[in-house]
Structure 1
Amino acid sequence: MMKVSVTVNTTDLTDLDLKQMVQLGIDCVDFGMGHSFKDVKEQGYPDLDSLLQLKKRLWSWGLEINRVTLPDITEDFMKDLPGSEIQIENSVNAVKVFGEAGIKIVRQRFKGDVFPGRSQSYKSIQRGGAVGRGESLGLLKEKSDTPTMEELEVWWSQFQKAYRPIVLTGLENDVKVAMHPSDTPHPDSPFGGIGLNRILDDFPQKNVGFVYCIGTRAEAGGSSLVIDEINHFGRKGRIFLVHFRNVRGSLPTAGAFEEAMLDDGDLNMFKILLELDKVGYQGCLNPDHVLTFAGDTPDLNENWAYSNIGWKHSSLGFAYSVGYIKALLNALVEFKGRPY
């Protein structure tokens, strides 16, 4: 049975946060930052007792932890600088802690999986003045250089070096390891369409898969690409979490894209849901990159200007998105003529 999750970027959730999540019908929480958990900054990985207390508190509201994020693999490691090997050890220890806490999905971030400075971000004004994120290739007059093939191969070698012990530790602890596609999906990004397949080629273990981001992949090629990839990765059982969002345009077709409301982009989100159901996907749908509605507090993260990624209570954007997803799930039951 598919569920609904939202991303939070802190463990300091108030009772108001949790109460509104329950009122909206949210089932699960995804933790988007590796440094959010207690003791990560001090010892390099989360504290088990604090994690179990957090899990118990969420349970008391009827909520579950769905996906968490490991401590970041930084530029120092990707450039193989002395002393950076401790980052692998921290991530491995984090997987063990999360596994002991019964958390089944982790994500690892890698510095350099995107190419900043290859497109221009801008404020997209949409229906009724709602604010979203846009990116354009043409508006950026001076683009940064794309790494060379040799540089990308060195980067991938470091990725393999880090990912292998993380994946194997996940196997030992019944934890799935999920990669998010490169966002923004510029050509030759490590975790673009070719890179996602390369991950599975290099790591065939069944606990390796994806936080499959519909919006990011639509930005790389539109609805047909998304449907093809859902069928390709979904029938292999490699989609562990879905970022369920819509966009207008794509980099190959329009040279630009804009994040959009679920009912107002290029993708038919019910058709996407049918494809997920067809391949047997039973995980969470996470709205992600929510637009800012009138009266909402905008996300001020400079890395994601005009995109609301982390949950905020009293957000009309999140309320709209969660309600829309739940309505689609109800419609799916009626469409198929059987209960889940």
Structure 2
Amino acid sequence: MMKISVTVNMCDLTDRDLKQMCQLGIDYVDFGKGSSFPGVQEQGYPDLDQLLQLRRRVRSFGLDMNRVTLPDFTDRFMNNLPGCEKELENSSLAVKVFGEAGLLIVRQRFAGDTAPVLTNGYKAVQRGGAVARGESLGLMKNKPEMPSLKEWERFWSRFMEAFRTLVPLAEDYNVKLTVHPSDTPNHGTLFGGLGFHRIIDAFPSKNVGFVYCVGTRAEEGGSSLVMDEINHYGRKGKICLVHLRNVRGSLPTAGAFEEALLDDGDLNVFKILLELRKVGYEGCINPDHITQLEGDSIDLDQNWAHSGIGWKSSSIGWGYSIGYVRALLTALAEFEGKRYGH
């Protein structure tokens, strides 16, 4: 049966954080920043002993760690600049450390996977004054140039070099190596629908998969694209974690999109869970990009303004989203005549 996870962007979780997660019925914690793990700043990759201490602490509250993040590949690596080989070495060592710690889903980030930025962000005000992230193609008047074919090929060459090293390690340490779709999913972004196909064509390993982001993919093609991709990648066992959010509009249909509360967008979230269940998905559902409700604080990161990216204790939006997903999973279990819960 599917479980619930939330993303945090730091490792120094307080007792308040962990108690609230337990009280809300969260099962797992996902760690979204590779640089946040103890040891990364000092040596370039996580320290195993401190990582195990962190996991023991999380488990003492009835939770566990789910997805973790490798050190980033920066522009230095993607442009093959002097010293870039150290980044690949650090990610390789991180795979080994996470595998030894029993953390079996890792995400790798690549600089440039979301460029160029063709949309202009804005504050989307929705029912009752709720605030969400919006992005529009039409509002961006001075659009940057698209990458040339040569630049596109260089990105894929560097991606291939990284994965040729990381995939065998993932297999050796029984780790799922994943990427997240490009967000925002503008035309020409590398990890869109075609990019996902290229990845599994080049690396058909059972240890290669995706953090499947429902919201990002809906922004590229709406509900029908999401359902088709879940069916396609789910049947191949390539969905390792699901980011669940609802959106209004899409770039192809409206030239814009707005994130929305789970019950207030274009997607039927329960149908999405049914489709995931149909293809045998039993991983975590992670409600992400939380709409800001009255009393909640706006995210200070301007790259994600008006969107709750990481967990915040006592956030009404987080509490709403987690409760909504728990209710849907309970309904799904009842629908199937099974039991859900602890």
Q: TM-score scaled by structure 2?
A: 0.98
Check the 8 A contact 2:116/2:145 in 1, yes or no. no
Residue in structure 1 matched with residue 306 of structure 2 by the alignment: 306
Shift of 1:165: 1.1
Residue in structure 1 matched with residue 225 of structure 2 by the alignment: 225
Shift of 1:117: 2.9
Secondary structure (helix, strand or coil) at the match of 2:7 reads strand
Secondary structure (helix, strand or coil) at the match of 1:121 reads strand
Secondary structure (helix, strand or coil) at the match of 1:257 reads strand
Residue in structure 2 matched with residue 136 of structure 1 by the alignment: 136
For the pair 1:23 / 2:23, whether they are aligned, the reply is yes
Check the 8 A contact 2:120/2:135 in 1, yes or no. yes
Which amino acid is 2:207 matched to? N
Which amino acid is 1:121 matched to? G
Residue in structure 2 matched with residue 64 of structure 1 by the alignment: 64
Of the structure 1 ranges 178-187 and 108-117, higher mean CA displacement relative to structure 2 is found in 108-117
Shift of 1:146: 1.0
Secondary structure (helix, strand or coil) at the match of 1:111 reads coil
Residue in structure 2 matched with residue 42 of structure 1 by the alignment: 42
Which amino acid is 1:236 matched to? K
- Distance in 1 (CA, whole Å) between partners of 2:148 and 2:185 is 17
- Kindly report structure 1 stretches of 4+ aligned residues shifted beyond 6 Å: none
Report matched runs for 1:147-158 at 5 Å: 147-158=147-158
Deviations 1:155-179 (A, max 9, x none): 1000111122111111100100111
Specify every segment of 5 or more residues in structure 2 that has no aligned partner in the other structure, as ranges.
none
Deviations 1:46-102 (A, max 9, x none): 000000000000110011100000000000110010111110000000000000000
Which amino acid is 1:240 matched to? C
Secondary structure (helix, strand or coil) at the match of 2:121 reads strand
Report matched runs for 1:158-197 at 5 Å: 158-197=158-197
- Distance in 2 (CA, whole Å) between partners of 1:271 and 1:141 is 37
- Distance in 1 (CA, whole Å) between partners of 2:99 and 2:117 is 37
- Distance in 2 (CA, whole Å) between partners of 1:150 and 1:13 is 44
Which amino acid is 1:286 matched to? N
Deviations 1:238-275 (A, max 9, x none): 00000011000000000000000000000000000000
Shift of 1:42: 1.2
Which amino acid is 2:34 matched to? G
- Distance in 2 (CA, whole Å) between partners of 1:173 and 1:117 is 36
Shift of 1:339: 3.5
Residue in structure 2 matched with residue 211 of structure 1 by the alignment: 211
Which amino acid is 1:155 matched to? F
Check the 8 A contact 2:116/2:189 in 1, yes or no. no
Check the 8 A contact 2:116/2:147 in 1, yes or no. no
Report matched runs for 1:37-116 at 5 Å: 37-116=37-116
Residue in structure 1 matched with residue 274 of structure 2 by the alignment: 274
Of the structure 1 ranges 159-168 and 242-251, higher mean CA displacement relative to structure 2 is found in 159-168
CA RMSD of aligned residues (A): 0.8
Residue in structure 1 matched with residue 248 of structure 2 by the alignment: 248
- Distance in 1 (CA, whole Å) between partners of 2:164 and 2:103 is 20
Q: TM-score scaled by structure 1?
A: 0.99
- Distance in 2 (CA, whole Å) between partners of 1:96 and 1:328 is 36
- Distance in 2 (CA, whole Å) between partners of 1:163 and 1:210 is 14
Secondary structure (helix, strand or coil) at the match of 2:135 reads strand
Shift of 1:116: 4.2
Of the structure 1 ranges 226-235 and 304-313, higher mean CA displacement relative to structure 2 is found in 304-313
Residue in structure 2 matched with residue 332 of structure 1 by the alignment: 332
Residue in structure 1 matched with residue 259 of structure 2 by the alignment: 259
Check the 8 A contact 2:219/2:247 in 1, yes or no. yes
- Distance in 2 (CA, whole Å) between partners of 1:338 and 1:174 is 30
Counting aligned pairs with the same residue, the percent is 66
Which amino acid is 2:77 matched to? F
- Distance in 2 (CA, whole Å) between partners of 1:251 and 1:261 is 19
Shift of 1:336: 1.9
Which amino acid is 2:11 matched to? T
Which amino acid is 1:67 matched to? R
Give aligned pairs, total. 340
- Distance in 2 (CA, whole Å) between partners of 1:65 and 1:107 is 14
Secondary structure (helix, strand or coil) at the match of 2:66 reads strand
